[in-house]
Amino acid sequence: MLVVVNAVISGGRNLAARLLDWPGPLAESRAVVVPRGAAAGLADALAEAGVVRDARLFRLALLIERGDRLHAGEFAFPAHASLRQVIETLRHGKPVAHHVTIPEGLTSREIAALLARAPALVGDALAPAEGSILPETYDYLWGTPRAALLQRAQAAMRAALAAAWAGRAPGLPLANPEQAVILASIVEHETAKPAERPLVAAVFLNRLRQGMRLQADATVVYAASGGAGALDRKLSKTDLALDDPYNTYRINGLPPGPIDSPGLAALQAVLHPAPSDALYFVADGRGGHAFARTLDEHNHNVAHWRAVDGP
């Protein structure tokens, strides 16, 4: 390669111009992180990544092409990209976009762990406040700080919550948007069926109106797990008796904070509940729930589904 570079230097601009369009060494397309700094460091990085054959040849190409205003970042180079294509990519190409999806119902700790594993993010980030993140897919570029992505997700939640609260149904027994998030975080965990969310929300709202305890298993799981969000066992009678402000079998009203980050659908279900006077629900063994207005109806449903599922 040294002979080729010397030949180009001694052969003049015509030979160099022809070399600009020679196929490059990349066997297949590849994303490469291009550092900031002088052309020498840029050329070395491209050569080390196998994008160009020789750093000095690339620097010569920059002189011929007047390759200024090159951008740093992560760029996708096509297979066998020529020197001209490499320079054009660094001038006008869009950086590689990464994506991270924050699912509904994750706790603050789970979100922090998810972002810690996300490639191309940098830096540390403290676990966000519970319920402060809007679950959705976020785009980001290589080198984005984790703290910055969290700030975007929190800003998205504030905007979504403000809009949802402004359009809420009248007469809800909720004092502020924060209480809506708390209840939505419970609804998020109590049913996996989207169509049931407004019904589950209606049950809890009806209970709040009547001064009944919510008795939501998901809040007990949160308390028993120390905020981790999951247990590797079934709830026990000891768990249900746990003296904890998040145990809604023991406290009146809502717990002091969310138990996860609810999605917009759960939040809308709380702010627009189904027209129902149900006060109870029990799992029906098919992924859904049976709802009841009275304790007698509820006990009948419990007995029925225990008979179906077995002891």
Kindly report the CATH class assigned to 2-92: alpha beta
pLDDT over 90 percentage in the chain: 52
Query: Which pLDDT value is given to residue 297?
Result: 85
Q: How confident is the model at residue 15 (pLDDT cuts 50, 70, 90)?
A: low
Query: Which pLDDT value is given to residue 235?
Result: 84
DSSP-assigned beta bridge partners for residue 186: none
Segment 191-240, tens digit of pLDDT? 888 999 999 999 999 999 999 999 999 999 999 988 887 888 888 888 88
Query: Which pLDDT value is given to residue 214?
Result: 96
The SS3 of residue 40 is: helix
Query: Which pLDDT value is given to residue 73?
Result: 86
Distance CA 282, CA 114 (A): 32
Query: Which pLDDT value is given to residue 3?
Result: 47
Residues 201, 229: contact at Cβ < 8 Å? no
Ranges in the chain annotated CATH 3.30.1490: 2-92
For residue 55, pLDDT beyond 90: no
Segment 121-163, tens digit of pLDDT? 999 888 999 999 999 999 999 999 999 999 999 999 999 999 9
Segment 181-194, tens digit of pLDDT? 999 999 999 988 89
